[in-house]
Amino acid sequence: MADLQQGDQQSSRRAMERKTIEKNRRIHMKNLCSQLNSLLPNNNNPRGEPLSRVDQIDGAINYIKNLETKVKIAEKHRESLRERKRSRSGCSSSSETRKVEVHEMGSLLRITLVCDYEDQFILREIIRMLNEDNIEVKTLHSSLTSATSSLHVLNAEIQQSYNLGTSVLIERLKIFVNGHG
C-alpha cells in the first residue's frame, strides 16, 4: 500500500512538473509574439481592436514578405543604375578613367588629374596630402570633360623647408590615385 501511495505522489509530481513546463513555454511564446508584434507597424488592424496571435503572426509574415519584395526591387534598381553608369562611361571600372600627371618646374608643381565625377574625394585627398607636406596650393582649375569625368589642374609651390624630395611625393600621388578602385 505504501508503494502505491508513493507511486501516486511521484506521478502527481511529474504531472505538476509537466504543467509547469508547459505553462512556462506558453508564457515564453506569448512574450515572443508580443515582442514580434511590437516590431511591426501599427497599421495592421484598421479597427484598433487587439489582434489574435494567429492574426499577429499572419501580419508579421505578410510584412516580412512585403519587405523582401521591396529589397529585391531596390537591388534591381541599383543594378540597373550601375549598368547605366557603366554603359555611359564606356568602361567597367572607374579606376580605368583615373589618371594623374605631375610636372616639376623648379619649386612649382603642376598636377593634372582626370577622374570620374563621382571620385572627387581623390582631389580633396591630394590637396590634403600636399598640405601635410607643407606644399602650398596656389591655383586649382576644374572642368568637366564629359558627362561622367572631370579634369583638374592644380598648381602648387614647394616650400624651401620641404626635404622629402619631389620624386617621393610624385610616387605617393600616383599610388594613391591608381590604387583606389
pLDDT of residue 133: 82
Helix/strand/coil percent split, the chain, to 5: 60, 20, 20
pLDDT level of residue 141 (50, 70, 90 thresholds): very high
| pLDDT at site 91 | 44
Residue 180 has pLDDT above 70, yes or no: no
Residue scoring higher pLDDT (163 or 28): 28
All domains of the chain, ordered by start, with CATH? Answer: 2-87 (4.10.280), 94-179 (3.30.70.1150)
CA distance 20 to 137: 77
Which residue did the predictor score with more confidence, 146 or 87?
146
Per the listing, cell 596656389 goes with 138
Residue-level pLDDT at 75: 86
pLDDT of 162 > 80? The answer is no
Q: Do residues 153 and 111 make contact, with C-beta atoms less than 8 angstroms apart?
A: yes
Exposure class string for 1-30: b at 16+ Cβ within 10 A, else e: eeeeeeeeeeeeeeeeeeeeeeeeeeeeee
From the list 78, 79, 87, 77, the residue with the least C-alpha distance to 148 is: 87
pTM of the model: 0.44
| 3-state secondary structure (DSSP) of residue 93 | coil
* Percentage of the chain exceeding pLDDT 70: 82
β-pair type (99-105, 149-158): unpaired
70/82: higher pLDDT: 70
Mean pLDDT of the chain: 81
- Residue 166: the pLDDT is 73
- Nearest 5°: the CA angle 110, 111, 112 is 120
Lowest mean pLDDT among 74-88, 90-104, 117-131: 90-104
- Compute CA 13 distance to the chain's CA centroid, rounded to the nearest angstrom: 56
Question: Kind and range of the H or E element at 129?
Answer: helix 121-132
